[in-house]
Structure 1
Amino acid sequence: MFIEDDAQMESFWIQTAIGAIKALTFVCDVITFPVYLVLQRPWETRQQSRRVKAKPVSNDKQMVQYRSVDPPREIHVKMLQANIDTLEKMLKYVSKIYSNQRCLGTRQILSEEDETQPNGRVFKKYKMGEYKWKTFAEVDKSANSFGCGLRKLGQQPKQNIVLFAETRSEWMVAAHGCFKQNMPIVTVYATLGDEGVCHCINETEVSTIITSHELLPKFKNLLSQIPKVNTIIVMEDQLKPTDTTGFKEGVQVYKFQEVIKLGEQNACEGVAPEPQDDAIIMYTSGSTGTPKGVQLSHQNCIATMKGFCDMVKINSDDVLLGFLPLAHVFELLAESVCLLNGVPIGYSTPLTLIDSSSKIMKGSRGDAAVLKPTCMTAVPLILDRISKGINTQVNSNSPFKKALFQFMYNYKVRWTNRGYKTPLVDKLIFKKVAKLMGGRVRLIMSGGAPLSSDTHEQIKICLCVEVIQGYGLTETTSAATVMDAKDMQYGRVGAPLTVTDIKLVNWEEGNYRVTNKPHPQGEIIIGGDSVSKGYYKLPGKTEEEFFDEDGKRWFKTGDIGEVHSDGVLKIIGKTLI
């Protein structure tokens, strides 16, 4: 009886308090509304959200083809003027423009120490320092030297080379060292398993593997299954010495810095690739079957970079937090766009990302708090975890704080949907959540899979950021569509990039037709310079899924979509069950 009375009394006082806060916010709204109306001009935001972003350029009862209505932006035009048509030219170009500016940053690990937990257990934690940076000129020089070091070790232009390592600055240096010598890099996911890794290495007939300290021991067991490999280059750990003994006879193991020094001592001329040359053979981590290697040319990569630059606004003070796998085309191209725009990239890992990450010593700051990034890439799985973490944190609060948060969340959603910003509410409530990622993040780019509307809205509201969702595949070098930053709707993946066209083609088995109302529906076909030439050593599969038409290369995605009246695509299913 008393317990029920106490609960009812608490509920009464909470409702009374929230009612008072509602009254107070109403008064504040009345006072500030004219100011916000004049300063924020919300009608323009709503108008920009509704604007037509792509239009049909061809259609009949079987197909409709859409193209962006937007012109190329400044960076795209500059790339055309400077004739930047390969990744090798791109780095050479930016290293001159941004020569002494920060380029790639690595957080220094000072020591690994035992930390006793409240339950008595002891865990190894990192004592960490600041970020150590290489300038654009230093990165370009290191890449030159690494490429020459590879030549000295016997690696030849147009000879494939495997890059099998986690995301870090050495990954980008190694990749661009290869591009400078026209050596296609083969990227492999560790999640493919030993059999998948061996398949990728054997199919591409590589003799040299670039890997990391953490992954090196794997090859002691795998070398017997990859007989052509005779050279392994290992990126060193900051603290632990790398054991290079015990490998199969005839296999030489070199440290990453040794190869750079070898290149410094044996300087060589670069071998400039042509736009149609393979830059990357990227193996997909497909859910079924044998991994397929997607051939991505320099032209494919440059096309995607142009398209991204036309859609994503870059600021002069931006900093990117890099931690998604660079073996994923989305992360690689996002980081390449940052390099193109002079944006520094600071690297992190899930183990050290935020203050509460598993390897961060108590009282120390995570990478995000030190780097203070403004931009980051993510996949829906990561954003779903952040969303779940926010919900857990809110639900752990007192009933009053939960009710207050929910009221403020709904309040911000209501005004945001009308085209307004809520600076006072952000400062009082939501900026505290945003500090988890350093407090400066303004833009999160999500790719890899469709993002749910609920997660999209919650991340945008609670972290006070723009969340831009895109759609693309490895076969299209990540390019297809990207959301307009002013689009206020959720659950859609944007309009075609300036470098791609999108077709919807009837899929009769599922009754998805371009004549459907209210929106045309069908299988999504992507065309443009970003579309791959095909699958490595799989001509039959390539012929099934790729084709040339009207001077464009096209790829059949197997995804079902519908295009709304403003030219924006929504993914609604798959043809492959």
Structure 2
Amino acid sequence: MVSNSNLALTRKKSSEHPLLQYEHGGCNISELGTPVKFLLPGSNFRIGATLLITTLKVISSVYDTFTWFGYYGFQKKRRQERLKLRNEIKAEIVSSTDGTSKTWRANREIRDIHVELEKGNINTMHKVFTLAIRKFGSKQCLGTRDLLTEENHFENGKLLKKCELGQYRWKTYTEVEHLATHFALGLTTLNLKPKESLCIFAETRAEWFVAAVGAFKNNYTIATLYSTLGEDAIVHGLNQTEATVVLTSSELLPKFRSILQQTSHVRHVIYMEHQLHQETVDASLYPGTISIYPFSEIIQRGRKVIDIKLEAPEPDDVAIIMYTSGSTAVPKGVLLSHKNVAAAMFGVTDGFGPVFPDDIYVGYLPLAHVMELAAEAVCFLQGVRIGYSSPLTLTNSSLKIKPGCTGDAVELRPTLMVGVPFALDRIHKMIKSQVDEGSAMKRAIFYFAYDYKLKWNYKGYDTPLVDRTIMKKTKMALGGRVRVLVSGGAPLAVNTHEFVQNCFCISISQGYGLTETCASATCTIQGDTTLGSIGPPLRCTDIRLVNWDDGNYTVNDVPLPRGELVVGGDVVALGYFKTHETTTHDFFLEDGKRWFRTGDIAAAEPDGSFRIIDRKKDLVKLQRGEYLSMGKIESIFKTFHYIENICVYGDPSKDVCVALVTPIQKQLELLSASLGNGDKLTLAEMCLDAEVESAFLELVQSFASTTKLHRFEIPAALKLCPEPWTPDNDMVTSTFKLKRRNVQKVFQADIDRMYAGLKTNE
């Protein structure tokens, strides 16, 4: 590792806290896994920090001694509940077939909301929304923040829009009902018939959700497309669904100038208006067969319709054709029936746990993603207010927030939210970066407090004094009130899970589901602080493990059964739209129940919970017969504070892997400066510099030595990529899943170069 003994102080591994050293998910996590860097010269600072830590240890020991009995009595019941939750059996085996498969079913408690859904025969999304509107009519429902100003700024040669935002403005359930009804009636004036498709290609916002509520009132099928998809994928979706009506936003409307030249079925485009700018649409820029309307005009049209009765859907009608993000190929349209999505309400309510009248949910992920849509539908169902945001305005440091202005989370102060691992990895790195930029004393205090909190949390105790002092600032990054955070969309790295969980003083639940299962399969129970687990089955699913002989995974493996994870239940989709061959391969019917083969490899814990340990499509068999799990390796390296994103590549004809890395610019600048470059090099020049690349590889390999990665799993060479991987350049999906094929195609020459340079070392 490139370092300077006068610039770095590495924390000793704790011998006092054995719970700080453990194994989860195939990697060893020892404390934070990285050194605390005191970037101030001179030994006096290191001596001062050491003395401070020693003093804090003495003070904490005295404090623990005098407060032990008080805390023990005050937290006894809560501690017992936590320990019971960790150890209780959460699911049991309900069937086993000839040593080739085993099926688990949860024993979760039935809550009032489940009874209400069952007694009311709530089996369509129209019934779900109608039930909520009847219960919560005058309560605030959907909130949108006022956009006060929007200015152009240049940062690092790029044009960015910076926003100044005001308060949230709320619509009640009754107001949403009126808008949705008028929108549905307005669509009838465009000659849209029940069971025909309304395609939504737009960012997450209140009007998106209103349109969905309205569409289900007249049995329209919603076809969802991610707003970040490339033109070819959009054209594919529009042509495959034969949609005649498209809902988009004013910001995305210009994209349709070329798209509409290739989509013969589209006749009407509706756009959701910008808060500040009154759009003037130049009809001459679009095909003459296309009519374009603002969202408000469709509402006005609907208010004038008085002679049409809306047609409610049946359970087996298709509610959504939800296109996947296209992480592995052309986006597939997943056919989700009303019964599928309504059944998912049972599961997602399990994921969130009990809700309260003052709860607020922040909606910022794409509504075109089934996880976000299901989460917002459950919040709507239970009377939880939904305040809208975006990844670019969520926090004070988000890209579109004007300096000195507050992000949406600080203004909204949500209590419930859903996150994806990429966002949580960024929060992890942001907090560590802020801490490491502070003085040596502040860093010493933070990491001491973190270790102190970690020790007591693993024993089942809260640390209110640490939470209210040291962790107060980190909690405020998301408004200070978050009590439920569910992570989904991809595996969450164990040390990110632990770090963010402890910094925000909550238990992060990790869920598992796919578009094909309406985001519902498993989820950890609220309050369970177990790391790396995706929890037991939800009430709406059965989970089966099936032997995968090619990967040497079987349900008879010791100590834990392993195999391909297969999901069964009412949440399993009808199949893929107009893709019969793939449907028959991935879906099957058994004893009247639909099942879906996920392609993910899981291990079953003794308590009935599961862990994702591999993925079929991410496995490569190397020259010497070892299986390289690229996704597992990437999830470990994404937590390294020098790496923004990484794509691992393994050539089956070689015995080592290589990596493509987008570095964190600030850390790369520090590394470059330590090599004597000062601030002479640009980001692109640093990424091309052989000395910088070599030093970066040393750091990566040194970090790998703190994990349990095997030799063949540690990159033997790497390429630094200066351009970030974003949905806009088609390197990642809207939820920031890696588009492996796209990355490989763009950097194939660099991959070949790296392997060519290693030939002499094989």
- Tell whether 2:290 aligns with 1:255: no
Q: Is the 8 A contact 1:49 1:486 kept in 2?
A: no
Residue 30 in structure 1 maps to residue 65 in structure 2: yes
Q: Report the counterpart of residue 265 of structure 2 in structure 1.
A: 228
Specify the alignment match of 1:86 in structure 2. 124
1:539 maps to what in 2?
580
Cα shift at 1:444: 1.0
Distance between the aligned counterparts of 2:115 and 2:159, measured in 1? 56
What is the CA deviation profile of residues 197-222 of structure 1, one whole-angstrom value per residue up to 9, with x for unaligned ones? 10011001111100001111000111
Shifted more, 69-78 versus 446-455: the winner is 69-78
Indicate whether 1:174 and 2:214 are aligned: no
Deviation for aligned residue 1:312: 2.3
- Which residue number corresponds to residue 280 of structure 1? 320
The whole-number CA distance in structure 1 between the counterparts of 2:160 and 2:584 is 53
Match of 1:217 in 2: 254
What SS is found at the alignment partner of 1:21?
Answer: helix
Equivalent residue, structure 2, for 1:309 = 349
Following the alignment from structure 1 to structure 2, what is the Cα–Cα distance between the partners of residues 44 and 184?
44
Contact 2:365 2:391 in 1 (8 A): no
Code of the aligned partner of 1:21: L
Q: CA deviation at 1:113?
A: 4.4
Distance in 2 separating the partners of 1:481 and 1:369: 31
Shift of 1:299: 0.7
Q: Which runs of 5+ in 2 are unaligned?
A: 1-5, 8-39, 620-762
Tell me by how many angstroms 1:264 deviates: 0.7
2:401 to 351, 355, 360: 360
Question: Which stretch of the first structure deviates more once superposed, 14-23 or 217-226?
Answer: 14-23
Q: Which moved more, 1:346-355 or 1:252-261?
A: 346-355
- Pairing partner for 2:359 from 300, 310, 318: 318
| Stretch deviating more after TM superposition (186-195 or 251-260) | 186-195
Structure 2 residue aligned with 1:138: 175
Equivalent residue of 1:485, what SS?
A: coil
Per the alignment, residue 98 of structure 1 pairs with 136
Cα distance in 2 for partners of 1:122, 1:288 equals: 31
Q: 1:308 aligns to what SS in structure 2?
A: helix
Query: Which stretch of the first structure deviates more once superposed, 273-282 or 86-95?
Result: 86-95
Note closer, same or farther for the CA distance 1:121–1:569 as it changes in structure 2 (3 Å cut).
closer
Deviation of residue 123 (structure 1)?
A: 6.7
Amino acid at match of 1:56: I
Q: Write the deviation string for residues 297-350 of structure 1: whole angstroms up to 9, x where unpaired.
A: 111111111112134222221100100000000000001110010000000122
Which amino acid in the other structure matches residue 568 of structure 1? Answer: S
Q: Which moved more, 1:184-193 or 1:340-349?
A: 184-193
Q: Do the aligned partners of residues 540 and 38 (structure 1) sit closer, same or farther apart at CA in structure 2, a change above 3 Å counting?
A: same
For residues 247 and 506 of structure 1, do their structure 2 counterparts lie closer, same or farther at Cα, with a shift above 3 Å needed? same
Q: Describe how 1:520-535 pairs up with structure 2 within 5 A.
A: 520-535=561-576
Distance 1:551 1:121 in 2: 56
Name the aligned partner's letter for residue 23 of structure 1: V
Classify the secondary structure of the residue corresponding to 1:556: strand
Distance 2:292 2:108 in 1: 50
> Partner of 2:101 in structure 1?
63
Q: CA deviation at 1:13?
A: 2.0
Task: Give 3-state SS (helix, strand or coil) of 2:316's partner.
Answer: coil
For the 8 Å contact 1:50–1:487, the answer to whether it is kept is no
Give 1:7 deviation, angstroms: 2.3
Secondary structure of the 1:59 match is: strand
For structure 1, list consecutive stretches of 5 or more residues without a partner in the other structure: none
After TM superposition, the score normalised by the length of structure 1 is 0.96
Matched, 1:460 2:501: yes
- How much does 1:453 deviate? 0.6
Q: Which letter does structure 1 place at the counterpart of 2:286?
A: F
TM-superposed deviation, 1:72: 2.2
Which residue in the other structure is 1:165 paired with? 202
| Alpha-carbon contact 2:392-2:400 (below 8 Å) kept | yes
Q: Which of the residues 394, 410, 421 maps onto 2:451?
A: 410
For 2:340, which of 300, 315, 331 is the aligned residue?
Answer: 300
**Distance apart, 1:10 and its partner CA:** 2.3
Q: Could you give the per-residue CA deviations for residues 16-53 of structure 1, whole angstroms, max 9, x where no partner exists?
A: 12111111111111121111111212233112211110
CA distance in 1, matches of 2:520, 2:107: 17
Alignment map for 1:422-501 (pairs within 5 Å): 422-501=463-542
Q: How does the TM-score come out when normalised to structure 2?
A: 0.73
Query: Quick one: which amino acid aligns to residue 540 of structure 2?
Result: V
The answer on 1:112 being equivalent to 2:150 is yes
How many angstroms does 1:404 deviate by?
Answer: 1.3
Name 2:11's counterpart in structure 1: none
Q: Return the offset for 1:112.
A: 2.5
Q: Residue deviations 1:170-225, cap 9 Å, x none?
A: 00001111111100000011333101110011001111100001111000111110
Shift of 1:120: 13
SS in 2 for 1:437: coil
Deviation at 1:125, TM superposition (A): 3.1
**Whole-Å Cα distance in 2 between the matches of residues 115 and 219 of structure 1?**
26
* Pair 1:336-2:377 in alignment: yes
Give the distance between the partners of 2:616 and 2:157, measured in 1 at CA.
Answer: 53
Q: Find the residue that maps to 1:225 and give its secondary structure.
A: coil
The answer to whether 1:73 aligns with 2:111 is: yes
Separation in 2, partners of 1:401, 1:305: 45
Q: 2:545 aligns with which of 482, 504, 508?
A: 504
CA RMSD of aligned residues (A): 1.9
* Offset of residue 405 of structure 1: 1.0
User: In structure 2, what residue type is equivalent to 1:445?
Assistant: V
Residues 114, 185 of structure 1: CA spacing in aligned structure 2 closer, same or farther, 3 A cutoff? closer
Partner amino acid for 2:169?
A: K
Cα distance in 1, alignment partners of residues 228 and 344 from structure 2: 26
Structure 2 CA distance for aligned equivalents of residues 213 and 330 of structure 1? 25
Query: Counterparts of 1:465 and 1:487 in 2: how far apart (Å)?
Result: 10
**Kept in 2: contact 1:72–1:310 (CA 8 A):** no
Corresponding position of 2:86: 49
- 115 and 63 in structure 1: CA distance in 2 versus 1, 3 angstrom threshold: closer
